[in-house]
Every structure is written in C-alpha cells, then in structure tokens.
Structure 1
Amino acid sequence: MNVLIVEDEPLMASHLQLVVEGLGYAVVGAASTAEAALALVRSQPPDLVLMDINIDGAYDGVETAISIRELHQCPIIFITARYDEQSFLRASRLGPANFLLKPFEDNQVRRAIQLASSSPAPVAAAPPEEDAHFYVKVGHKLRKIAIAEIHSVVADGHYCAIHTQANRYLIRMSFQEVQERLPAERFLKTHRSYLVNEQYVESVDLRDSEIILTNGQRVPLAKREREAFLRRVDKFK
C-alpha cells in the first residue's frame, strides 16, 4: 500500500513516515502544502492519505482533501492538534477513514491505518437531497427553501442573506452556522463573508476579481481565496 503524508510539521511528518514504513507500507511522499500534495497525487496516486487538517497555505487540509477526491478516490485519515467543531463537521462530510487527535500514540496510528487498509474506501456524504432545506421568515409565515436553490450566502451582521434565483432572504444564523450546514463539495468560499453554489457560477471576471452568478449577482473573489477557488473549478485547470 502506498501512503501520502500531508503534514506541515517536519518532525511529525518524519515520525509518521517511520510508523508507516514500520508497518511495511511505502510512503510516496510527504507534502507540507496543498499544492505539493496535489502534485504527488497526480504523479503517484496513493492508496491512503494521512492529512493534517491545519496545514499552512491558502487552503487547509479539508479543502485539500476535497481536491484530492476530485482527482483520485482513496481513504483519508484526518489529523488535528485541536478539536475544532467546524473543521470536524466539514471533514466528516467527506467520509474519512478515521480521525487522529494530536498527541497520539504510535499504536493509534497503526490501528487507524490497518483499519483503513482493510476496509473499502469510505464514500463522501452524498449531496443533500432536494428536501434538505432552510426555513426563512417571510412576513408572518415560514417558507421552506431547498439548499439546491441557494445561489449564494452573504454574512450580514448577526444574520445571513440567502440569495436564490429571484429572491433574497434574511435568516438569523451566523455565517459559520450556515457554512456548517451546507455541503463543502458544492458551496465554495470566495470571501470571508461569501459562499457561492458552484453550479450557479456563470463566469469569473479575473480583472475585477468578481464572480457572476446565473441570477446576475456579482460576488467578490478575495485574493486569499482566489487560488483555491480557481483550482476547485474544473474549467480553470
């Protein structure tokens, strides 16, 4: 079995490599950034990935794992130094083989790898069904909006604005709470206050750093999110 290690702490990466090789498996490479990890996946597709959630760079381990899954299906074991509810929920949607919380014992790593190697690769959670929805208040009524209808989400103080093809609704929910409820493989972060549904992206204005959606809405594309966004959208590869 070939294993890819994605870890930005050199000592931890070296230690993981020793554990993996001690089990008789080969390490195809150790990457400290998403870019390096994706290059290794393209050149030497691994059978298993050990992925640190909190890697340095423009995108974290969860975003990197999503991109890896777009290139190659294999089990992923997530590693983190702290329990972060938001990251855990995002990672869980990908159907990981296991989670390892630092500091961990060598036998925990061995057990996680052995379980992953003896089980079928987990399948990422399916996109929400059409009845997955939000309820929003409109006048004196509550209206159900399917997640599939949502074009974008915009943070607005203690509220979030939900944009569909023809309407805008305010819901009393934080941006983080909304992001946790939406499928990471479909909704892309373009700015600290914006999420867009990839299926409704009509075009991208690279000069003005804006994304134009099918409902005519123009959404900013922040410099720090630009590379990750363009990499996620196949047409820009």
Structure 2
Amino acid sequence: MIRILIVEDELIIANDLKDILESMDYEVLGIAKSYDVAKRILESEIPDIVLLDIQIEGSRDGIELAQLIKQKFQIPFVFISSHTDKATLERAKDCQPNGFLVKPFEDDDVRVAVELALSNFSKEQNAGLDEDHAGFVMNDSLFIRQKNLSVKVKYDEIMYASADANYCTLYLSDKKYVLRSTLKELEQKLSDRRFFRSHKSFLINLNNLTAVHSEYLCIGDEELPIGREQQSWLMKQINKI
C-alpha cells in the first residue's frame, strides 16, 4: 500500500485530505503542521510521497521542506496551496515538484495529482538508472534502491513480483521489497527467460514454480492467479508425464 505524509497546518483541510486518500486505499503515515514535525516523521519512517502546503506553521515554509526532501530523502512531493501568485509559483518551480494541487480541491484532483506524481517520479528514477549504468549489465542480478543503499538481488532469489498501481512488490523467499516501478517496467528489466508474466498483476520466476493448476499456479506455498492463455502456453512448455 502506498504511504503518504500530509504536511498541512489547517487541520480541517488536513483531515479532509486524509479521508479522501484513505477512501482511495492509500495509507496516511501522518499529519504534520510544521517543518520540524515533518522532518521528525521523515527521519523515522520514509513515506512513498509527501503532500505539503506551501504556507505552514513556524519560521520555515513548505518550500524549504521541499528542498530538504529533494536533497536528503529523494522521494516525490506535491505542493498544496491556495496561493498561485507569480512569486509563489516561481519559488515552487525552483524546487521541481512532482505535482501541484490548488485549494479548494475535489477528490479527483487529489487522485490525479498523486498518481501523476508517482508515475513521473518512477520514470525519472528509471531513466536516471539507465543513464548512470549504461553499458554495465549483470546477467544474474539486479540492484534495488533502498533509501541511500542499492541492494544486490540475484535472479535465483526472486520468487515473484506483484503489481500495485505505479509500484510493485518483489517477493524473495525470506523478504520483500516495494519498488517505485510498474510491473511492466520491472518485466522489461528482468529480460531473463526464467521470468514469466502469468497474470496482468503477477510476474513469476519459473525456476521456483512448484505446481500448475487450471486456475492458479504455486510458487512455494503461495497460490497465484494465472490467465487462461498463459496457463495454456505454460502447459505446452513444461515437461510432463
């Protein structure tokens, strides 16, 4: 589930935004009224995205918080403001936000702002990764970014991956990683033949396949859905008696 931090000093608006987000199955990590409170939350638990008002309590405003997020935490953020004058917009643009939500807003405005911000941020990260590692390919592993660390994961360790909107979850035998990537983007990176798109929401490692049913397949103790066409193709490929 995608986790969101709200930074807003008007509690009526903050709680309204929280209700909207939770009705869309997002998890609200917390509500912060000031720069200092938001910083403490960010240092204890990193959200997937931050929605922050430009005008907040205290001596430091939302734009200063956005600069901190960009420099230290490197997660997407969306500005919320009723101030759309030229000076405010110029300061906001300098931070290169992933979105801008103007008060008063409707439910659909919030949904669009969050989904676009997550999608654009994911594309930026993937583009940057491709550029930084051009010409460097590992045929048996991929690196997963976790905060400021890139963790090496061997293909053999991967059991399967599942889709969650603009994110996906990679399951290993003993742990899992939430990735800022769509399942399609992950599939393109895992171009090894052992990985099979068994369903629109699942990518499996065929080396860890333990059983195939007409309506599902088994990866270890997990029963995962399989499409009819995918099941037919798979049964033609495997050796059976």
What TM-score does the superposition give when structure 1 sets the normalisation length?
A: 0.49
User: Highest relative contact order (Cα 8 Å, sep 6+), 1 or 2?
Assistant: 1
Give 1 or 2 for the bigger CA radius of gyration.
2
Q: Which structure is higher in helix share? A: 2
